[in-house]
Copies of this chain bind each other. A is one copy, B any other.
Amino acid sequence: MKKSVENIVLEIKDKSELMIDLAYSSLLYDNKTIAKEVYDLENLIDALYQNLQKQTLEQVENKKLSINDALAVLRLAEAGEKIADAALEISDVELRDVELHPILKMSIRESDQVFTRVQVESQSILCNKTLGELKLGSETGMYIRAMRHGDRWLYGPDKNTKIDSDDILFAKGPEDGEKHLINLASGKTSKI
């Protein structure tokens, strides 16, 4: 299996799941910028999928990939494509310019893992640290899915992403992790 095939499967998987979280965030925070990002990511996934199909067929032709392995690759990528489509449907609700019924909004927010949006204050311990240094995922359970830095948006930030004062974080995680993140961002607590 050529390295790029598995890389593309993984990218489709991770991006499609990011799209779902972004789509729900766009609805919950009535945020069209995030909803439009879901559209851009769908285009990216389409391109990745086409590239993957071509590479998979080439590797089958060159006997570098067995039929069974190729089928699994195509099947997984197809599933990711479906998930991306579902994310698009969700963000469409936001883009149709209809405010979600408050009861429905509340209900979605309180799913298995809650969605939250927090602003980082200047006195917060989070300022000037990278996500890699902070390890918010393992320390609070909260998983940053998008952030706004001034006029710039970052979707699916990685461990090298630095948090600055006034950044707005869109995160997902367990209910008690949310309180912890809010306290860290406000500067109320400095214990990560």
Contacts and interface: CB of A to CB of B under 8 A. Distances in A.
Interface of A: 1, 3, 5-7, 9-10, 13-14, 17-18, 20, 23, 68-69, 71-73, 75-76, 78-80, 82-83, 85-87, 89-90, 92-93, 96, 98, 100-101, 103-104, 106-108, 110-113, 135, 137-141, 143, 156, 173-174, 176-177, 180
Contact of A107 (B9, B17, B69, B86): B9
A48 B136 CA distance: 35
Contacts of A76: 90, 93, 104, 108
Nearest to A3: B103
Residue among A14, A80, A98 with max Cβ neighbours from chain B (10 Å): A98
B108 A156 contact: no
Contacts of A176: 135, 137-138
A20 to B, nearest CB: 7
A27 to B, nearest CB: 8
Contacts of A10: 107-108, 110-111
Given A71-B96, A78-B89, A138-B177, 12 more contacts: A6-B107, A7-B107, A10-B107, A10-B108, A68-B98, A71-B98, A76-B104, A79-B90, A113-B137, A135-B176, A137-B173, A138-B140
Given A82-B85, A143-B113, A93 B72 contact: yes
B141 A104 contact: no
Contacts of A111: 10, 13-14
7 contacts: A9-B104, A69-B101, A75-B89, A83-B83, A137-B141, A137-B174, A141-B141
